[in-house]
Structure 1
Amino acid sequence: MGNDELVSECVKRPRDRIIDTAQLLFRKHGIRGVGVDAIAEEAGTNKMTLYRHFGSKDELIAECLRDTASGVEPFWRDLEAAHPGDGMAQLHEWVRAVASYASMEGGGCDLLTAAFELPEPDHPARLVVEAFKHEQRNRLAALCRAAGIVEAERLADALGLLLEGARVNRRTVGPDGASANFVTIAEAVIASFSAAAGAQAARD
């Protein structure tokens, strides 16, 4: 760590340092593989401070996921800025962008990983995951509608399933597996729904 990075870490509030540290350790060792003692020590604080800010490890996990989820807003703004008023162009840009994220080394989705690690339906982190996934699905459906897709909800579900399947496939098979074809398959699915929309418009 360079001097500038060290200074930056030192001036961060303990709460922010704990979140940043927990996110890194969870990604490296898994949520179940990291205890609060290790997080507090790595963050340069103590367990008492951690519990004062978060109450429990479960609440810390949930807050880490909320922090990750909040980072998606620039993604949607960038889609609109790249193709203002053109829903179909934004939809194709969405495909390319999420494919890039899904193909990153060690990539995947922190929220998806947490859902696998935390099967308890009432775990506070799972509630964060479910709320985020529902919101993203609804935003994608709205984008599909803006692109002129009649069955926007079905297309959003199809693309969402393709994306999560691609993420899992990349982690289990590697970058040369079926996930490498995500863009091609997603574009074909969009074309199919778009053609159906065109046929429906012609009949009307």
Structure 2
Amino acid sequence: MQQAAGADDSRTRILDAAEKLFYERGVQAVGMDALRTEAGVSLKRLYGCFPSKDDLVAAYLGRRDTRWRADLATYVTERAVTPEDRLPALFDWLHAWFAAPGFRGCAFINSFGELGASSDGVTRIARHHKLALHAYLADLVRDLRIDDPARLAGQLVLLIDGAITTAALTGNPAAALDARTAAGVLVAAAH
């Protein structure tokens, strides 16, 4: 039992290190030795938890997807009193994320840009993340009595990805506020 707890603790430390280093520097720039050092585990333990770097990248992205979407949904749920409040709350959350220290854009777009052509796993996980975001957005706008919630959700995903990329490239979190304004125009046009 204690050995399993130690393995779980090591796995968590390794994933924490991967999230920090992969997001800061990029997946290809970070070697397994740097991950081992950051996590404070032996190379044997690292490979015992994650037999390959591909396995670690998949676990990192899977955990990031779960956390990112949960954080977003919690924020929106806590702040939106009416269905009309949901999208503005979403863009407020993006603004806060863009302004946070260490913001480097979308981990899924970044990883796909680095590895998508050579990694079916990264492509699959990045696609899953974007499809899950699309489904979440379709649910958010459904109560607004929009003619085509799926179409509007697709437009909003494009808007969100553009805002994330713009904020990462320019260092200006106001991209979220501009996207919030544009989302209002899209919603009004969708009625």
Structure 1 residues 94 and 42: alpha-carbon distance in aligned structure 2, compared to 1, 3 A threshold: closer
Residue in structure 2 matched with residue 54 of structure 1 by the alignment: 50
Distance (Å, rounded) in 1 between the aligned partners of 2:23 and 2:113: 13
Which structure is larger by alpha-carbon Rg, 1 or 2? 1
Q: Secondary structure at the match of 1:33?
A: coil
Residue in structure 1 matched with residue 30 of structure 2 by the alignment: 34
TM-score, normalised to structure 2's length?
0.84
Residue in structure 2 matched with residue 132 of structure 1 by the alignment: 129
Task: Kindly indicate whether the alpha-carbon contact (under 8 Å) linking 1:87 and 1:146 is maintained by their aligned counterparts in 2.
Answer: yes
Structure 1 residues 24 and 122: alpha-carbon distance in aligned structure 2, compared to 1, 3 A threshold: closer
Residue in structure 2 matched with residue 7 of structure 1 by the alignment: none
Structure 1 residues 127 and 159: alpha-carbon distance in aligned structure 2, compared to 1, 3 A threshold: same
Report Cα offsets for 1:100-134 as digits up to 9, x if no partner. Answer: 32343442222221111112264323222211211
Q: CA deviation at 1:99?
A: 3.1
TM-score, normalised to structure 1's length?
0.79
Residue in structure 2 matched with residue 92 of structure 1 by the alignment: 88
Matches of residues 76-155 of structure 1 in structure 2 within 5 Å? 76-83=73-80, 86-107=82-103, 108-120=105-117, 122-155=119-152
Count of equivalent residues:
184
Structure 1 residues 180 and 73: alpha-carbon distance in aligned structure 2, compared to 1, 3 A threshold: closer
Q: CA deviation at 1:77?
A: 3.4
Distance (Å, rounded) in 2 between the aligned partners of 1:138 and 1:190: 16
Structure 1 residues 34 and 176: alpha-carbon distance in aligned structure 2, compared to 1, 3 A threshold: closer
* Structure 1: tracts of 5 or more residues without a match: 1-9, 198-204
- CA RMSD between the two structures: 2.5
* Structure 2: tracts of 5 or more residues without a match: 1-5
Task: Kindly indicate whether the alpha-carbon contact (under 8 Å) linking 1:91 and 1:143 is maintained by their aligned counterparts in 2.
Answer: yes
Q: CA deviation at 1:21?
A: 0.8
100-109 or 37-46, larger mean C-alpha shift: 100-109
Letter in 1 for 2:106: C
Distance (Å, rounded) in 2 between the aligned partners of 1:147 and 1:80: 16
Report Cα offsets for 1:73-114 as digits up to 9, x if no partner. Answer: 243134234335x32222222232223323434422222211
Matches of residues 161-180 of structure 1 in structure 2 within 5 Å? 161-175=158-172
Letter in 1 for 2:169: T
Distance (Å, rounded) in 2 between the aligned partners of 1:144 and 1:179: 18
